[in-house]
């Protein structure tokens, strides 16, 4: 059996993390996790009111996600996690003790992502919060950077070609 691996699909809200992550995990036969599903209720409530999270709000959430990755890798399971991971310190918290994690940064323009968020219904991330996401974004130096203007299938193909070869 090959070494278990994990992909962290990161970017601002509306960049396609969940869509790309789900398709990638499905194609590879790996587990898929959406980090949004692991937010404590207080975080969801805060974001639903249009208030961005601060580092204190994220601390427990990042710890839970790190433990999720660690547990799967220890059990020999590969997976994909869709998570904004906007700051280097957040990525360090997620990757701590997990060397088999590869970063994929879904990069797109503010205008494109704003239009995607405007089309999205029933999500607690409000389009007005996009500015705070771009303000917080520290682009990773150690990631596969993928432009989100391509169709999802092509993005997944690109990820597979550049990381699984």
User: What pLDDT was estimated at residue 49?
Assistant: 82
User: What pLDDT was estimated at residue 128?
Assistant: 60
CATH topology of domain 6-163: Rossmann fold (3.40.50)
CB 103 within 8 Å of CB 143: yes
Can you tell me the mean pLDDT for 81-90?
A: 95
Q: State the chain's mean pLDDT as an integer.
A: 89
The percentage of residues in the chain with a pLDDT greater than 70, rounded to a whole number, is 92
Predicted confidence band at 54 (pLDDT cuts at 50, 70, 90)?
confident
Q: Which pLDDT tens digit goes with each residue over 135-162? A: 889 999 999 999 999 999 999 999 999 8
User: What pLDDT was estimated at residue 59?
Assistant: 93
User: What pLDDT was estimated at residue 1?
Assistant: 52
Within 10 angstroms of residue 76's Cβ, the number of other Cβ atoms is 10
Q: Three-state secondary structure along the chain?
A: CCCCCEEEEECCCCCCHHHHHHHHHHHHCCEEEEHHHHCCHHHHHHHHCCCCCCHHHHHHHHHHHHHHHHHHHHCCCCEEEECCCCCHHHHHHHHCCCCCEEEEEEECCHHHHHHHHHHCCCCCCCHHHHHHHHHHCCCCCCEEEEECCCCHHHHHHHHHHHHCC
CA 132/CA 95 separation, integer angstroms: 23
């Amino acid at each position: 059996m090959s070494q278990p691996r994990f992909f962290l699909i990161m970017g601002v809200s509306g960049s396609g993390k969940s869509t790309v992550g789900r398709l990638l995990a499905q194609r590879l036969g790996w587990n898929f996790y959406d980090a949004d599903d692991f937010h404590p209720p207080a975080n969801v409530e805060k974001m639903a009111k249009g208030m961005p999270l601060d580092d204190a709000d994220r601390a427990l959430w990042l710890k839970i996600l790190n433990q999720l990755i660690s547990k799967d890798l220890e059990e020999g399971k590969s997976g994909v996690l869709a998570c904004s991971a906007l700051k280097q310190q957040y990525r360090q918290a997620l990757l701590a003790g997990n060397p088999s994690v590869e970063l994929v940064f879904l990069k797109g323009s503010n205008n494109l992502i704003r239009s995607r968020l405007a089309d999205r219904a029933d999500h607690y991330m409000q389009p007005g919060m996009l500015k705070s996401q771009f303000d917080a974004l520290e682009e990773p130096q150690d990631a596969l950077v993928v432009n989100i203007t391509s169709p999802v299938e092509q993005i997944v193909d690109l990820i597979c070609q550049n990381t699984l070869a």
